[in-house]
């Protein structure tokens, strides 16, 4: 089992007429759809997203492609980084939300929809049906109404390791939690901290916790926790955090120590791990780490199949799923 991060494009409630009305007109104009529909669409739209730097440049290419079809529409993209949930909440509370936003949390999407802060996009149902199956469309629905479009899924159940550091320490890629903790000690003894963490980007630590919790207690309890059906003071949460402490609790085995880890963002932790010399042998993060390695270091990634995943050796009934580990040299 892998955990996937689903990101959505959501339309906020206080939208411009362009989003709420003009698009509906385009989709309903039958014989003149291409002749008048596209040329008639004009105006501007504001978009808040997390993408900055290289990702913002890539999204700029998406906007450029959009403008080839809708040249009279001005897209005002604002890169706000990982503080988007806070910035969006403040903007909505102040009555000045963007027209569209990148929301990575299904729970937040549901919260805004139920609170009347999002506008349904029924006008897009036809296009969505042509391009997404029912399972994907449902991810952007609340009470049967479509509020968002899923546009990206990332495998966040991976760990990446520096091949040279592993070879120098004489360790093999760990396949169980016990093997991971043992390898971490050997790596530290060899002179390279085991872990390079991106603590300044808090979502990386929540990803680590979620993977540990999911593999320890299974999907049913994971879903119950995310839906607030069990409290965060539940003993399962305490157990998972204790297991997580085996990684983050040893300051001497973190690149830069505890203080350094808390001040290191993503993707700096990646470049730290895969530069020469490596400052930390292992990075816990998603499939997009590969892009950070290629753009920020001279390392070359390869993929190796791992028959079993690592996980805390807690409930015997929780069988660890198959997974892949990614190596870089």
pLDDT digits (tens, 9 = 90+) for 280-293: 999 999 998 998 99
pLDDT at 36 over 70: no
For residue 147, give every residue at least 6 positions away whose Cβ sits within 8 Å of its Cβ, in sequence order, or none: 10, 11, 109, 113, 118, 119, 120, 121, 140, 141
183 and 110 assigned to the same domain: no
135 and 225 assigned to the same domain: no
**Of the residues 100, 125, 155, the one at which a domain ends:** 155
pLDDT at 187 over 50: yes
Q: Residues 179-198: what's their mean pLDDT? A: 97
What pLDDT is stored for residue 4 in this prediction?
55
pLDDT at 132 over 60: yes
What pLDDT is stored for residue 302 in this prediction?
66
46 and 139 assigned to the same domain: yes
Nearest to 255 by CA among 195, 296, 185, 183: 195
What pLDDT is stored for residue 6 in this prediction?
52
Question: How far is the CA of 270 from the CAs of 48, 153, 281, in angstroms?
Answer: 26, 20, 10
Q: What is the pTM of this model?
A: 0.74
**Of the residues 98, 123, 155, the one at which a domain ends:** 155
pLDDT at 178 over 90: yes
19 and 92 assigned to the same domain: yes
What pLDDT is stored for residue 41 in this prediction?
87
| Containing structural domain, residue 95 | 4-155
pLDDT at 104 over 90: no
114 and 207 assigned to the same domain: no
243 and 101 assigned to the same domain: no
104 and 246 assigned to the same domain: no
For residue 227, give every residue at least 6 positions away whose Cβ sits within 8 Å of its Cβ, in sequence order, or none: none
Contact 326, 290 (CB under 8 A): yes
Q: Which of 107-111, 160-164, 266-270 has the lowest mean pLDDT?
A: 107-111
51 and 143 assigned to the same domain: yes
Q: Residues 199-207: what's their mean pLDDT? A: 91
Task: Give me the phi and psi of 262, to 5 degrees please.
Answer: -75, -20
Q: Which of 34-38, 88-92, 222-226, 325-329 has the lowest mean pLDDT?
A: 325-329
136 and 237 assigned to the same domain: no
What pLDDT is stored for residue 37 in this prediction?
57
- Mean pLDDT of all residues belonging to the chain: 82
What pLDDT is stored for residue 39 in this prediction?
65
105 and 232 assigned to the same domain: no
163 and 310 assigned to the same domain: yes
What pLDDT is stored for residue 130 in this prediction?
94
**Of the residues 155, 187, 207, the one at which a domain ends:** 155
């Amino acid at each position: 089992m892998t955990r996937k991060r689903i990101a959505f494009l959501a339309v906020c409630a206080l939208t411009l007429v362009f989003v709420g009305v003009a698009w509906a007109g385009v989709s309903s104009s039958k014989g003149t759809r291409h002749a008048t529909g596209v040329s008639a669409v004009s105006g501007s739209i504001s978009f808040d997203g997390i993408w900055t730097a290289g990702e913002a440049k890539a999204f700029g290419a998406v906007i450029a492609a959009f403008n080839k079809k809708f040249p009279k529409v001005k897209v005002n993209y604002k890169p706000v980084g990982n503080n988007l949930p806070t910035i969006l909440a403040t903007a909505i509370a102040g009555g000045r939300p963007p027209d569209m936003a990148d929301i990575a949390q299904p729970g937040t999407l549901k919260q805004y929809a139920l609170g009347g802060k999002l506008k349904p996009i029924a006008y897009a149902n036809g296009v969505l049906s042509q391009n997404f199956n029912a399972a994907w469309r449902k991810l952007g629905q609340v009470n049967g109404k479509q509020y968002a479009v899923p546009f990206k899924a990332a495998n966040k159940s991976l760990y990446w390791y520096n091949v040279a550091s592993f070879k120098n320490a004489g360790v093999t890629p760990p396949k169980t939690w016990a093997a991971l903790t043992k390898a971490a000690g050997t790596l530290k003894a060899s002179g390279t901290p085991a872990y390079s963490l991106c603590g300044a980007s808090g979502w990386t630590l929540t990803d680590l916790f979620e993977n540990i919790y999911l593999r320890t207690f299974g999907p049913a309890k994971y879903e119950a926790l995310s839906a607030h059906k069990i409290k965060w003071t539940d003993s399962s949460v305490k157990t998972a955090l204790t297991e997580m402490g085996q990684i983050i609790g040893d300051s001497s085995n973190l690149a830069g120590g505890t203080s350094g880890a808390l001040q290191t963002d993503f993707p700096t932790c990646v470049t730290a791990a895969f530069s020469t010399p490596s400052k930390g042998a292992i990075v816990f993060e998603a499939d997009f780490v590969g892009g950070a390695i290629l753009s920020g270091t001279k390392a070359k990634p390869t993929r190796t199949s791992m028959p079993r995943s690592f996980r805390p050796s807690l409930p015997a009934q929780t069988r660890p799923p198959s997974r892949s580990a990614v190596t870089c040299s």
